[in-house]
Amino acid sequence: MKLLRYGPKGQEKPGCLDAQGQVRDLSDHVDDIAGAGLLPDAIARLQTLDINALPIVRGTPQDDLRLGPCVGQTGKFVCIGLNYADHAAESGLDVPPEPVIFNKWTSAIVGPDDDVLIPRGSQKTDWEVELGIVIGKGGSYIEEADGLDHVAGFCVINDVSEREYQIERAGTWDKGKGCDTFGPTGPWLVTPDEVGDFNALGMWLEVDGKRYQNGSTATMVYKVPHLIAYCSQFMSLQPGDIISTGTPPGVGMGLKPPTYLKGGEVIRLGIDGLGVQTQNVRRAS
């Protein structure tokens, strides 16, 4: 099932995508794609619905019908660094002996096609296509063998990053990761039964039509169940939390010479079966 949230910013309603690419309204069945609505029993109830009997929402999604972030009320936006060996190499760093964890602030979360804003004074704003995990059933000290039981679904994330803030500004990576609009999320939250083999999903990113990233989750160092178990050692995971799992090579920082966003570009990115995002890049006023 492809779950989504549609409508103006801050007023999103719950919906799903039917086989014809139309949005169907779920407001009579769930308050939001968030919180308790992501628990296994709640998702299972939605999956029993006759989608074709649900009200059609007028408009074409990602055209004249805006999609918001595919999950609401996110409490934690946890990210994993250097989780693709080839990306670590292009960054001049070794694969870490255990996952690197950093955070994006939840105020960074925007819809999949909302504008990306370059922060004032930024010269090194970069892109990263990533597979996102959305937590359904929460927990602490989760066993790796049980990790997938805690997944509500998967989605596309653009881990937009300001490299000067991240690396050169005397602090943690978080400084360059959580700026407003640095977390486009969606377009849909795809339940695990529809995703198939999440260890073999093609993923790509283009800027102004030029392909920079062209990878696969197959080269992920630390896999989804391990990441869930690992993160749960340091924090309780709760419904709606997002874990963004790292990026393949092709980020601007790793190019020779490095290439960064200046404003005026269009970013397109996607992951097999999880949809496509499109963002206009502009400078914050």
Please check whether residue 67 is in contact with residue 6, taking contact to mean a CB–CB distance below 8 angstroms: yes
- Mean pLDDT (whole number) for 38-65: 98
Q: What is the mean pLDDT of residues 75-88?
A: 91
Task: Check whether 116 has a pLDDT greater than 80.
Answer: yes
Q: Residues 13-26: what's their mean pLDDT?
A: 98
Pairing of strands 109-110, 266-271: unpaired
Q: How confident is the model at residue 156 (pLDDT cuts 50, 70, 90)?
A: very high
The band of 23, judged by pLDDT with boundaries at 50, 70 and 90, is very high
**What structural domains and CATH numbers belong to the chain?**
69-283 (3.90.850.10)
pLDDT given at position 95: 84
| pLDDT of the residue at 167 | 92
Cβ atoms of 37 and 31 within 8 Å: the answer is yes
Average pLDDT value for residue range 89-97:
82
If you average pLDDT over every residue of the chain, what do you get?
96
> 141: pLDDT confidence band, cut at 50, 70 and 90?
very high
Beta strands in the chain (DSSP E): 2-6, 13-17, 23-25, 77-81, 100-103, 109-110, 116-118, 125-126, 129-135, 151-158, 161-162, 183-184, 189-190, 202-207, 210-216, 242-244, 266-271, 275-283
Distance in angstroms (rounded) separating the CA atoms of residues 180 and 118 = 9
Task: Please give the full DSSP string across 76-139, using - where no structure is assigned.
Answer: -EEEEES-BHHHHHHTT-PPPSS-EEEE--GGGEE-TTSPEEEPTT-S-EE--EEEEEEESS-B
Q: Give Cα 21 to chain centroid, integer Å.
A: 21
Question: Side chain identity at 95, as an amino acid letter?
Answer: V
| 37, 51, 109 from 270: Cα distances, Å | 25, 25, 17
**pLDDT (0 to 100) of residue 85:** 83
d(CA 154, CA 133): 5
